[in-house]
Amino acid sequence: MISAEEFYTKRDARTAEWLDPTGLHAVSLGISIDEVEAQTFAGQLAFLLLVNMSARWCQRITLVAPDVPLHTALYCWGTNQLVDNALALAQRADPYGIFQDQCEPVAASVRIHLGRHPTLPISCIRGRGWLSELRHSDDMKLKDDDSINPLGPALAACMGASYMLRHALRHDDVCETAILSLWNLHHGGAVIDGPDLQKSDIGRVLLIGAGAVGASIAYLLPLLNLNFSDLCIINPDQVDYSNLNRVPLFFIEHIGVPKSEVVHNYLCAASVPSRYIGKWFNDVIGPELSLQNFDVVIPVANEHGVRAAVQANYPPVMIHGSTGSQWDAYAGRHIPLVDDCLVCRFPQPAAAPRCAQGVLKEQESAGAAPLTGALPFLSLAAGVLALADLVKLVIPGDPPNANTTILSFKSANLRPMIFDRVPRANCGGCPDPVVWQKLNGSSRHAPSSGAG
Ligand SMILES: [Zn+2]
């Protein structure tokens, strides 16, 4: 076991430049949940995710929660009482953090509440169905009822994590009130909740990449009520300390274990059969792997020109998530012969910013570079946006969402931006329609089958 100092030095290698100068290592967080919210799947899920993400950067967290059993639909995350499970997740994320539960709210640098707070005028988050909300105190718009849909609550947890980090950084323009829908991707009064998640067959799915976005997607997969006739994960490298700063599925016991194996073991334990290939995509495509054996490809890796290699092999429908440099999370969908292709979307792989990297603080001295760091919630947010697109493949009545979604956690009201990208002329990656139909015409979500 390494020392605390060594642990934080390694885990925060990408964020060390801001942790000390801004005093973030001294920040303490308070996360509370009320009796009503703690009885729900949605409330418990948002609570556990928020604690999980917060323990990735904050060393002192106090939880205030009633002693209730974990919801049975969340047994993939543990089997204890809710609070015990939250504390265990935090301690596995950071074995040196000081995480405790108390029956009274304590003085914390930044607080947030899940549900409605009966007395204090503090900010609250809530997710229900496809909807996520951040609002002061007892003015929550979303109803108290429950829904076994992880998407709205998971995004609400990201909103809460962003809210707390931005307050800890003393940003002066933190969004305090927002409601948005992952169903119609509108915000404010225009939000529409989508249908419940019925048991649905998504077909054969290939997850290329088990890094921050890929593993975040995998973390929520068991909760989506999907059947996979095949689920294959490709990723060659191992979990290291720096992954613990933002990946909800990776914990201290996973250091040194191949990421694809960790994800595979997690899914199997959650009763989602899967298989994994611990190699680079470029080394297995062709002899070991054919994209024509899949109905959906989720390309969430960008090393070694993998996006161009995927596109060159006539992929079926693709859905992916990624992060930008402005506290923004992206989701992209590519219906072959309809949308643009992966090369249209990412023409220069080398120019992509580092995963989840964002500006945390502008320097006061003129000309000094701003402090940047890996945001602990942004990869998960990108994964949630991508999963919303994935689920829509199998839900009748799919709203006419655009093929590109952007959500910036620095925007004034967390309004998602959506638009349709069109193929670029002479991109060089767009598939030949005749060849594509010949190879993939029978795939489950092919455009000719009427899906999408
Ligand atoms: Zn193209």
In terms of residue numbers, what domain contains 265? 200-449
Q: How far is the CA of 331 from the centre of ligand 1 (A)?
A: 17
Indicate whether 185 and 206 sit together in one domain. no
Q: How far apart are CA 96 and CA 91, in angstroms?
A: 7
Residues written for the chain: 452
Nearest to 344 by CA among 425, 437, 418: 425
For residue 341, the CA-to-ligand 1 centroid distance in Å is 4
Max distance between CA atoms of the chain, in angstroms, equals: 66
Question: Is residue 151 within a helix (H) or strand (E), and if so which, with residue range?
Answer: helix 151-168
CB atoms within 10 A of CB 58: 28
HSE, side-chain direction, 13 A CA sphere, residue 56 = 35
Tell me which residue of 374, 385, 331, 354 sits closest to 244, measured CA to CA: 374
| End position of a domain, from candidates 131, 159, 190 | 190
Domain shared by 186 and 259, yes or no: no
Q: Indicate if 186 and 204 belong to the same structural domain.
A: no
Point out which residues pair with 33 in neighbouring strands. Answer: 114
Q: Token pair of 395, please?
A: 């839900």
Helices and strands: H and E segment counts in the chain: 13, 17
CA neighbor of 21 nearest in space, from 369, 448, 328 = 369
Residue 121 Cα to ligand 1 middle (Å): 50
Ligand 1 centroid, distance to 440 Cα (angstroms): 17
**Same-domain pairing of 218 and 343:** yes
- Measure 421 CA to ligand 1 centroid, in angstroms: 11
CA of 229 from ligand 1 middle (Å) equals 29
What CATH number has the domain bearing residue 370? 3.40.50.720
141 sits in the region (left: phi over 0; alpha: psi -120 to 50; else beta) called alpha
How does pLDDT run along the chain (452 residues), one tens digit per residue? 899 999 999 998 887 666 665 677 789 999 999 999 999 999 999 999 999 999 999 999 999 999 999 999 999 999 889 999 999 999 999 999 999 998 776 678 899 999 887 677 788 999 999 999 999 866 777 877 788 999 999 999 999 999 999 999 889 899 999 999 999 999 999 999 999 998 999 999 999 999 999 999 999 999 999 999 999 999 999 999 999 999 999 999 999 999 999 999 999 999 999 999 999 999 999 988 999 999 999 999 988 789 999 999 999 999 999 998 889 999 999 999 999 999 999 887 555 556 667 777 766 667 777 777 789 999 999 999 999 999 999 987 666 679 999 999 998 889 999 999 999 998 989 999 999 999 987 888 877 544 43
State the distance from the centre of ligand 1 to the C-alpha of 312, rounded, in angstroms.
10
Write down which residue in 127, 157, 190 finishes a domain: 190
Phi, psi dihedrals of residue 237, rounded to the nearest 5°: -95, 175
| 449 alpha carbon – ligand 1 mean position (Å) | 22
Q: Whose structure tokens read 């964002």?
A: 358
Structural domain tally of the chain? Answer: 2
- Ligand 1 center to residue 272 CA distance, Å? 33
Pair (116, 264) in one structural domain: no
Residues 250, 156: one domain?
A: no
How far apart are alpha carbons 322 and 357 in whole angstroms?
A: 11
* Single residue among 155, 190, 225 that ends a domain in this structure: 190
Task: Give a yes or no: residue 195 inside a domain.
Answer: no
pTM across the whole model:
0.95
CA of 427 to the centre of ligand 1 (A): 5
Residue 404 Cα to ligand 1 midpoint, Å, equals 15
Burial (CB count within 10 angstroms: exposed 0-12, middle 13-18, buried 19+), residue 113? buried
**Buried/exposed 404-441: b ≥16 CB within 10 Å, e otherwise:** bbbbbbbbeebbbebeebebeeeeebbbeeeebbebbe
